[in-house]
Structure 1
Amino acid sequence: MIAINNLTFEIGARALYDEANWHIKPGDKTGLIGANGTGKTTLLKLIVGDYAPTSGTISMAKDIKIGYLNQDLLSYESNKSILHVAMEAFERQNQLHTEIERLLKKLETDYSDDIIQKLSDKQSEFEALDGYNIEYRAHEILAGLGFSDEDQQRQLSEFSGGWRMRVMLARILLQAPDILLLDEPTNHLDLPSIKWLEGYLQAFDGAIVIVSHDRYFLDRVVNTIVESKRGKLIQYAGNYSFYLEEKALREEIQSNQYKNQQAKIKQEERLIERFRAKASKAKMVQSRIKALERMERVEDVDDYNPTVNFRFKFSKQSGRHVVRLENISKSYPGIPILEHTDAIIEKGDKIALIGANGKGKSTLLRIVANADKEFTGKSETGHNVTQTFFAQHQLEALHLDHEILQELQAFAPKHTETELRSILGCFLFTGDDAFKKIRVLSGGEKSRVALAKALTADANFLVLDEPTNHLDIQSVNILIQALRQFEGTFIVVSHDRYLLDNVANKIWYIEDRKIKEYPGTYQEFEEWQSKRMPNTTPEKADAKPVKTLPKKIESPKDEDRDRQSRKLNKELESVEQRIADIERTIKETEALMAEEATYADPKKLTEVSQRYEDLKSELQELQQRWEKLAEEIIVNG
């Protein structure tokens, strides 16, 4: 499908790739990984032709269709609805639709065979390209990525960068390319949307190359890992977990080979040194020297897994209650977020706040951090609580003219330079890296600096909003180690399930505008939800408010509820039957629209087209009714 042969790409005097090779075959689902700065995004740009190789070749079939999601798409602007923008993926279908509309208009006054034949040809091609279903397909994918029916009619320009990136992803998926190149596709997705995308990509027939720091996402989607390292592309036949195991085995073998070779080299060098001065051994010495020079050296294994060995300390312990929320209500114009809800954060809590975007996670986090005062109710901070709040906008608060070490010294003057450099070492800033100016750092490096600042604060309570954005897998592992060593209290919003699974001992989520709690790890929460609410996401599940979570869920015995449940199930069956009938009628109507007798009669064609649109509208309403009934049945047990 795509063959990369002896690829070399140089930036200045640095070779980002040096005679690298990789063949992407049909059906490959590949995770492209590597530390920040190893050229993953650059490689994708080389494949699509944005950059030209210094030497080597990238060859592919002429008719191959590539779908490329990259962060540059954030600059795309449009005042059209996001449904319209997504449907721009159907370039030929849209063109045919316009031509069919023009021919139908012309047919009102011109009944010539030529016009009728052209219309027939266009409609046949439109039908062959599944043109009558493109709006439904666009709606389906946008819904999977978190857009409501109302959202889909709003202009793209009304949405933030993260939501616009979702629209771009939808448009690329709708193009049905032969190969998808996805650069950090989960960066702007919430957990429900990530899970939806996992299912979509698992079923995708083409090849996929994904650059991602979400190891759970990679485990569920890819069957091959390619690591970009030291200018080469190293392939592993399995998902990310397999890669870790296989890499450990390879490195163990390499380490043993290196040690054995080093021992042999030292032995040879001692022998050479011993007999160098003896004329009778000169020939033997020269032979040994040449043999050493010809020896293909085994490289030592790099330690790409630094450990956090710094003790994050604070000067005073907090009281038992860190934050108490009482009767909290919060809304934006026309949008209620929280209504009369209570919650308590206690000393030692490690809370993961999860859920779909738009549920109010960031709003709740700001209330907890005292960064939002526009609410009703009471938010009370406990005795001796000192907090620090990390959010992505704080990257902008870094002093661009400061060196990294200088930035930390200004923020945490009580720490010695040795302590601060130790912390920076944990966050991958070693040696002279500490003296780099903030302005020259990448987004991921700035995130690491901001996180190092947050963890050096004299704070016993951390509030972290999406701390893994821009971090590679190695940096996420460092953050996990730091949070596990942190002896205070924290609450974190993140879509990185590996991080949540490794640091949280409580799960918070917002449902029915109430804060609800699960007292366990993220994995336990997922298992609990799947058993309790099969085929639903956490956002649809019905749990009790904070501190009243039942240990055992039992079906209610109430007779009124049983009657209501039977009534709902009966209505659901009726709606299902009606949906099936309408879907069958829609197919029959589509066939009727393609018949010559229909499009030859303008009046009949108008009537059939109107009926077709009415059927689609009714189908959409019935599908929405079915979803509401299903939710009510689940809630009623």
Structure 2
Amino acid sequence: MTTTTTDSPSHIVASSRQTRFHIAEDSASKEIDLKGVNVSIVTKLDLETSGKSRVKEKQDNIEILADAHLRFKTGVHYALVGRNGTGKSNHRIIDPRQALLRAIADKLIPGLPSNFRMAILQQTADEATPLLSSDVMKRTVLETVIEGDPYRNRLLEEVKVLSQGTDSKDPIAPVAAFRKVKHEELLREFKEVEQMARLRSGARGFDARKVLLTYEKKVQDSEEGVKAVNQDLPNDELERDTTGAIDLLGQLQAELETMKLEDVSEKARNALFGLGFSKSQFTKPFSSLSGGWKMRCLLAAAIVQTSDLLILDEPTNFLDLLGILWLQKFLLDLKENSPLITVVLVSHDRDFVNAISEETIILRDKALTYFPGNIASYDKAIHREILRTTRMKTAQEKQIAHMQQTIINNKKAYKKTGDESKSRQAKSRQKRLEDRTGMNVSAKGTRFKLNRDMPGYSADGMRKAIDIPKLELEVELKFPVAPELRFPGALISLEKVDLKYVRAPQPTLKQVDLVIHRGDRVGILGLNGAGKSTLIKVMMDTYKPTRGTVTRHPRLAVSYYSQDAIDTLKAKALVNPTWTALSFIHKCATDTGTELTEQEARGLLAGLGLAGRTVSDVPLCKLSGGQMVRVELARIFLARPHMLVLDEPTTHLDLPTVHALMQALIAFDGAVVLVSHDRALIRCVVEGDPVHEPGSSDESDEGEDDEARMEKIAGVGRFVYELKGGQLSEVQGGVAAWEARVEKKLSKLAEEG
């Protein structure tokens, strides 16, 4: 069966294989187990003429899943990983993970239970806000969270209708209310029955279509009953429906009693407070919030909702470490307090994902693969499998070479002496080469047996070839070399810098001292609102200090990646829909007086993972978030900087690309100033911890590489600072010590709250 979204320019088409097992209509199971799942994004393009008068509509189709197995076990916390921007065409590039999550949340995949309650957080405010009604935009922050539960809202509406009917002095009012509520319930059931009728075939399909005909009759009778309510009703119908209204009202009120407004309000306040809202912000209109604060509010609404499946797409994007650790604790507590709620998480924050997830779902090559463990466990398992199969293949290649040489020698001996035994030996060894090579050792180290280890054999009983798992890594990022400065000296120096905004009661920066040399790695930590952006703007000479001095190397070229760079780039791209990545870089080069040939522009973009038709044919506004990050990096490298200042550069990236960014920043020979809440990024780039290689393992012995790494980082200045209360101080103990302090603060806030 296939379902689609509405007739929008782009819509999701989904199908799944029908189940051959009976699932009771009133089943309380909250598990999802669907096979043969296909999900595609279909876009209507311009009409084209065919022949003299025929006109047909062109469509662009991107497959997300093809014959995949979609499985969610009740109460399990999943991490969904995959590459962003891998679903591509000449017209746009999309994130397959987001498309899959939207298909699930909108119940577009046939077979998803109708009574399955889902809550979803979209990745950006641009995606989430259009889905909100005008009523939601008028609500306060607290009201948005409290009233953001569709299931509870439906119960409230039904209770309201029934209460008004039963409280009315009109004897017909309870009947009208009861019939209205039951008719809406019947329509929801009809939709499910209609779906089942389309899904099933054969005898069960015939039975389902008979049920559908029955429901069509029920819906028709119900409509007539709703219309006939103002007419004279027999006493028995009047009494029956009045009693039904009273009984149903009691049931709904009892269900609402389990989710009291006081409890929901308390949960909403705690969620908002934990995500960084102050009490004074609770009464602000939702529409007055900035994009980042809107996303925090929608995150609070999602986690407070009554749901069986909670989908969180990049929930840490707009959170500081305090908010990240609060959300991490909330989801871990959810496992204990609400063990039936399934969680699906997409995030670029490796530490956060590893702490939350129990199983990993890998979306790759239009298929879903499941691993019983978090990403760290998955990487280690993959590495062990790579080592095992590589060693097996190397040993077998040596064995094959020896056997082939033996066969050649035996054939020569037979021709020379006519010894039939040599001929038989040659044929025997040749048969063994053809039939017995391939996978011959199981993952447990035992020999393969046909009746036990079928995965090691092909359909004809022959051993499968040794297949070494491949790691799907993002294209390597290579930053251009920083030019020479001709004479030594600090790149930038801040001495006793103060900055006070005109209307602010206190200075934002107080007595800040900071010196950065070429090659230094500087990490700046701090909670939201600590003044990190202000400090960066002073460094970039955007703001002038109130007191103190800022000294720069006379030949310094510095490039700045701001945390809202992608939003700004998206806005420009939407206004200029004909821009491509290539034309945009050409324009930026022209605006800055830089001479850049097409080959040089392509080379710059290719080094950052963008090449071919993607840079010249796909409109800039159609690129994925991760690809826009690369375009923005290409733009800032036009200046050939000696120093990079990066403010939350990983926000729109997937995990493989974050890994590539780490490697590129480590290799960059200029200075790097990094503002980020990604703990792994700071540890690797600034503190010099080894980069977690996808597929790496603690069991690998890379002593020589580690020694070389230590020699490389020995001459680099590495500093981790915290900005707090306007003052900049070095953090002794680095990221780990600061994280411990934030956790302590979180515990203190929990005790006070």
TM-score by length of 1: 0.69
| Distance in structure 1 (CA, Å) of the matches to 2:393 and 2:612 | 26
When residues 5 and 322 of structure 1 are mapped into structure 2, their CA distance, relative to the original with a 3 A threshold, is: same
| Post-superposition offset of 1:27 | 1.5
Deviation digits for residues 55-100 of structure 1 (CA, Å, limit 9, x no counterpart): xxx5344322111111321333612210011110242676599799
The answer to whether the Cα contact below 8 Å between 2:105 and 2:119 also exists between their aligned partners in 1 is no
| Post-superposition offset of 1:46 | 2.1
1:314 to 474, 483, 488: 483
Instruction: Supply the RMSD in Å over aligned alpha carbons.
Output: 4.6
1:407 to 575, 579, 585: 585
Tell me which residue corresponds to 1:84: 143
| Post-superposition offset of 1:228 | 0.7
| Distance in structure 2 (CA, Å) of the matches to 1:424 and 1:257 | 39
| Post-superposition offset of 1:334 | 5.2
| Post-superposition offset of 1:342 | 1.8
User: Would you say 1:304 and 2:472 are equivalent positions?
Assistant: yes
User: Would you say 1:210 and 2:352 are equivalent positions?
Assistant: no
Letter of the aligned partner of 1:508 in structure 2? Y
Letter of the aligned partner of 2:37 in structure 1? L
| Post-superposition offset of 1:221 | 0.2
Give SS of 1:536's match: helix
Tell me which residue corresponds to 1:139: 269
| Post-superposition offset of 1:502 | 1.0
| Post-superposition offset of 1:461 | 1.8
Tell me which residue corresponds to 1:73: 128
Letter of the aligned partner of 1:536 in structure 2? K
| Distance in structure 2 (CA, Å) of the matches to 1:164 and 1:139 | 15
| Post-superposition offset of 1:437 | 4.9
| Distance in structure 2 (CA, Å) of the matches to 1:158 and 1:525 | 33
Tell me which residue corresponds to 1:5: 35
When residues 125 and 106 of structure 1 are mapped into structure 2, their CA distance, relative to the original with a 3 A threshold, is: farther
Give SS of 2:332's match: helix
| Distance in structure 1 (CA, Å) of the matches to 2:153 and 2:76 | 27
- Of 314-323 and 40-49, the range deviating more from structure 2: 314-323
- Of 118-127 and 441-450, the range deviating more from structure 2: 118-127
User: Would you say 1:323 and 2:493 are equivalent positions?
Assistant: yes
1:383 to 548, 553, 558: 553
| Post-superposition offset of 1:418 | 8.0
The answer to whether the Cα contact below 8 Å between 2:34 and 2:71 also exists between their aligned partners in 1 is yes
- Of 139-148 and 320-329, the range deviating more from structure 2: 320-329
User: Would you say 1:159 and 2:289 are equivalent positions?
Assistant: yes
Deviation digits for residues 406-452 of structure 1 (CA, Å, limit 9, x no counterpart): 82793796899888766544432355555455524222101012224
The answer to whether the Cα contact below 8 Å between 1:388 and 1:463 also exists between their aligned partners in 2 is yes
When residues 438 and 62 of structure 1 are mapped into structure 2, their CA distance, relative to the original with a 3 A threshold, is: closer
Tell me which residue corresponds to 1:353: 524
User: Would you say 1:485 and 2:656 are equivalent positions?
Assistant: no
When residues 310 and 460 of structure 1 are mapped into structure 2, their CA distance, relative to the original with a 3 A threshold, is: closer
| Post-superposition offset of 1:31 | 0.3
Letter of the aligned partner of 2:121 in structure 1? L
Give SS of 2:728's match: strand
Tell me which residue corresponds to 1:556: none
Deviation digits for residues 108-151 of structure 1 (CA, Å, limit 9, x no counterpart): xxxxxx9x999999976654433332222211111011100001
Tell me which residue corresponds to 2:734: 521
| Distance in structure 2 (CA, Å) of the matches to 1:240 and 1:506 | 29
Tell me which residue corresponds to 2:723: 510
The answer to whether the Cα contact below 8 Å between 2:530 and 2:725 also exists between their aligned partners in 1 is no
| Post-superposition offset of 1:388 | 1.0
When residues 402 and 318 of structure 1 are mapped into structure 2, their CA distance, relative to the original with a 3 A threshold, is: farther
| Distance in structure 1 (CA, Å) of the matches to 2:505 and 2:33 | 51
The answer to whether the Cα contact below 8 Å between 2:38 and 2:64 also exists between their aligned partners in 1 is yes
When residues 91 and 327 of structure 1 are mapped into structure 2, their CA distance, relative to the original with a 3 A threshold, is: same
When residues 431 and 128 of structure 1 are mapped into structure 2, their CA distance, relative to the original with a 3 A threshold, is: closer
Tell me which residue corresponds to 2:367: 232
Tell me which residue corresponds to 2:71: 23
| Post-superposition offset of 1:402 | 4.8
| Distance in structure 2 (CA, Å) of the matches to 1:33 and 1:402 | 28
| Distance in structure 1 (CA, Å) of the matches to 2:661 and 2:403 | 45
| Post-superposition offset of 1:492 | 1.8
| Distance in structure 1 (CA, Å) of the matches to 2:287 and 2:74 | 37
Tell me which residue corresponds to 1:462: 644
| Distance in structure 1 (CA, Å) of the matches to 2:107 and 2:608 | 32
The answer to whether the Cα contact below 8 Å between 2:610 and 2:630 also exists between their aligned partners in 1 is no
When residues 422 and 120 of structure 1 are mapped into structure 2, their CA distance, relative to the original with a 3 A threshold, is: closer
When residues 244 and 5 of structure 1 are mapped into structure 2, their CA distance, relative to the original with a 3 A threshold, is: same
| Distance in structure 1 (CA, Å) of the matches to 2:252 and 2:114 | 26
Letter of the aligned partner of 1:159 in structure 2? L
- List aligned pairs for 1:121-270, cutoff 5 A: 127-204=257-334, 205=339, 206-253=341-388
| Distance in structure 1 (CA, Å) of the matches to 2:629 and 2:315 | 19
The answer to whether the Cα contact below 8 Å between 1:405 and 1:420 also exists between their aligned partners in 2 is no
Letter of the aligned partner of 1:383 in structure 2? H
The answer to whether the Cα contact below 8 Å between 2:353 and 2:374 also exists between their aligned partners in 1 is yes
When residues 192 and 99 of structure 1 are mapped into structure 2, their CA distance, relative to the original with a 3 A threshold, is: farther
User: Would you say 1:44 and 2:101 are equivalent positions?
Assistant: yes
When residues 175 and 261 of structure 1 are mapped into structure 2, their CA distance, relative to the original with a 3 A threshold, is: farther
Deviation digits for residues 321-370 of structure 1 (CA, Å, limit 9, x no counterpart): 61314341233745756153322132144222222222222222222211
| Distance in structure 2 (CA, Å) of the matches to 1:91 and 1:211 | 27
Letter of the aligned partner of 1:304 in structure 2? E
Letter of the aligned partner of 1:343 in structure 2? D
Letter of the aligned partner of 2:721 in structure 1? W
Give SS of 2:33's match: strand
Give SS of 2:537's match: helix
Deviation digits for residues 548-571 of structure 1 (CA, Å, limit 9, x no counterpart): xxxxxxxxxxxxxxxxxxxxxxxx
| Distance in structure 1 (CA, Å) of the matches to 2:105 and 2:540 | 44
When residues 164 and 394 of structure 1 are mapped into structure 2, their CA distance, relative to the original with a 3 A threshold, is: closer
| Distance in structure 2 (CA, Å) of the matches to 1:227 and 1:34 | 6
The answer to whether the Cα contact below 8 Å between 1:426 and 1:478 also exists between their aligned partners in 2 is no
Give SS of 1:248's match: helix
- List aligned pairs for 1:324-343, cutoff 5 A: 324-331=494-501, 333=503, 336=506, 338-343=508-513
When residues 449 and 361 of structure 1 are mapped into structure 2, their CA distance, relative to the original with a 3 A threshold, is: same
Structure 1: any 5+ residue segments left out of the alignment? 53-57, 108-113, 272-284, 541-622, 629-637
Letter of the aligned partner of 1:37 in structure 2? G
TM-score by length of 2: 0.59
| Post-superposition offset of 1:50 | 6.0
Tell me which residue corresponds to 1:279: none
| Post-superposition offset of 1:460 | 1.6
Tell me which residue corresponds to 1:369: 540
When residues 460 and 336 of structure 1 are mapped into structure 2, their CA distance, relative to the original with a 3 A threshold, is: same
When residues 128 and 421 of structure 1 are mapped into structure 2, their CA distance, relative to the original with a 3 A threshold, is: closer
| Distance in structure 2 (CA, Å) of the matches to 1:269 and 1:335 | 85
Letter of the aligned partner of 2:369 in structure 1? I
- List aligned pairs for 1:424-435, cutoff 5 A: 424-430=605-611, 433=614, 435=616
Number of matched pairs: 519
| Distance in structure 2 (CA, Å) of the matches to 1:165 and 1:191 | 16
Give SS of 2:354's match: helix
- List aligned pairs for 1:439-450, cutoff 5 A: 439=620, 440-450=622-632
When residues 321 and 359 of structure 1 are mapped into structure 2, their CA distance, relative to the original with a 3 A threshold, is: same
